[in-house]
Structure 1
Amino acid sequence: MLNKLGLSGHGEAKVEYLDGDFRIISPGAYVLCAVTGERIPLEQLSLWSVDRQEAYATPQIALERTFPNAAKKKA
């Protein structure tokens, strides 16, 4: 569950990504997508990798990051 105390702040939050949850280490309003650099508001954060400790803006980006050669095989 989202740590509501972490929503204070206006910059980038530092987050520890857990299985099915995340913990806010340093308060902020957003995290950055590991692939695109897009800002993801904490209240919209739903995709991340526990192993890589990184967030993703969209399901497509997460899929491409996890399986980088999958799209190339279809072409």
Structure 2
Amino acid sequence: MNKKLAKLKYLPNNFEIIENGDHVVCAVSGKSISLENLNYWNVELQEPYFSYVEAHKKKETH
């Protein structure tokens, strides 16, 4: 890992890399998520989530 933060555009079933990097940061927990392990995000809010737990927490508060 080169530890560079990626900038992504989150799409309904995929994401587009705007700026190359190897990870993003969870919008809820602040945990680093490697792009290979990125499975949860919100298209409307354009936010990544570490797991279904964080995604669910965000959904409850939004």
Give the TM-score taking structure 2 as reference length: 0.91
Task: Tell me what 1:12 maps to.
Answer: 5
Taking only aligned residues, the RMSD between alpha carbons, in angstroms, comes to 1.4
Higher relative contact order (CA 8 A, sep 6+): 2
Which ranges in structure 2 are unaligned for 5 or more consecutive residues? none
1:30 Cα deviation from its structure 2 partner? 0.1
Give the TM-score taking structure 1 as reference length: 0.76
Task: Tell me what 1:32 maps to.
Answer: 25
Percent same amino acid at aligned positions?
38
More helix by share: 1
Which ranges in structure 1 are unaligned for 5 or more consecutive residues? 1-8, 70-75
Alignment: residue pair count: 61
More strand by share: 2
Structure with bigger gyration radius:
1
Report runs of 4+ in structure 1 exceeding 6 Å deviation.
Answer: none
Q: Secondary structure at the match of 2:61?
A: coil
